[in-house]
């Protein structure tokens, strides 16, 4: 599958998920915005743990890029806390959720639609913080994402990102409508767009099934370091609600905080 075709598939899938009120598309409520105005920022990079406050620092007046982070969730909270927020997402309906909250709460959020592998719309050293909830799983190559994040960050700026442990994809998950069995069938890195048949991809489209790619820890963590980012924070998270049986044995999600060194 060509990258352009993959991107269009995932854009349509996330638009379907918005209409279905998927958890990651539901806009934050008024009370949460009020709490953010008062300094309480409950932000997610991974499914259940809040981002440590020390990772964020004081965001007031800071230029923040919410990368692949539409949905009316993280961007509006950061804007309510005083940050100058740009939301960048592949899904037009996810960005519409950001605009919905911004209009409702009197917030100023710039929205830009695009592919997280290409941030050429932004100049070098444009942002103090890039906030990227677990979403790199939806691109076939994560290395351009880290390079672009490093480029648009100011010196000393931070990248906060979440991602899935590659072990998650060792097991057969080719049909989202069937339970996963703990039987190793896939090699890492795994790719839906290469492993699934065209017939299956078409069959899953109406349900809003974004195509996923596992990547390796070498690319997920080593790739950040190679892009000039120093890993300065790390935590793991668990999402038992996902129904994946591996969650009973190991934390399947990872978050890192990296600082641009030069």
User: Which pLDDT does position 169 carry in this prediction?
Assistant: 93
Angle between helices 92-105 and 3-19 (to 10 degrees): 40
pTM to 2 decimals?
Answer: 0.95
Query: From residue 60, how far is each of 89, 227, 238 by CA, in Å?
Result: 23, 27, 30
Strand order across the 109-113 sheet: 109-113, 84-89, 63-67, 127-132, 153-164, 253-260, 229-237
Q: What is the CATH number of domain 3-260?
A: 3.40.50.150
For the chain, which residues make up each domain, given as ranges?
Answer: 3-260
User: Which pLDDT does position 110 carry in this prediction?
Assistant: 98
> For the chain, which ranges sit under pLDDT 50?
none
pLDDT in tens, 222-260: 999 999 999 999 999 998 887 789 999 999 999 999 999
């Amino acid at each position: 599958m060509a990258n352009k075709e993959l991107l269009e598939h995932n854009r349509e899938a996330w638009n379907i998920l918005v209409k279905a009120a998927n958890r990651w598309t539901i806009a934050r409520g008024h009370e949460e915005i009020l709490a953010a105005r008062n300094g309480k920022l409950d932000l997610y990079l991974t499914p259940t743990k809040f981002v440590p406050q020390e990772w964020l620092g004081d965001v007031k007046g800071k230029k923040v890029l919410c990368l692949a982070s539409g949905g009316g969730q993280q961007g509006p909270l950061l804007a309510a806390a005083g940050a100058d927020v740009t939301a960048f997402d592949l899904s037009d309906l996810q960005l519409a959720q950001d605009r919905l909250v911004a209009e409702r709460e009197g917030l100023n959020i710039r929205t830009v639609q695009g592919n997280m592998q290409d941030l050429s719309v932004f100049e070098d050293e444009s942002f103090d913080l890039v906030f990227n909830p677990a979403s790199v799983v939806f691109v076939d190559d994560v290395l351009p994402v880290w390079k672009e994040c490093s480029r648009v960050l100011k010196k000393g700026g931070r990248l906060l990102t979440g991602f899935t442990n590659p072990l998650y994809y060792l097991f057969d998950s080719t049909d989202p409508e069937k339970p996963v069995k703990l039987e190793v069938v896939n090699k890492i890195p795994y790719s839906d767009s290469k492993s699934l048949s065209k017939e299956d991809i078409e069959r899953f489209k109406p349900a809003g099934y974004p195509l996923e790619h596992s990547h390796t820890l070498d690319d997920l963590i080593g790739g950040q370091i190679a892009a000039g980012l120093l890993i300065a924070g790390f935590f793991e998270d668990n999402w038992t609600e996902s129904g994946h049986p591996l969650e009973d044995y190991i934390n399947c999600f990872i978050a890192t905080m990296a600082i641009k060194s030069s």
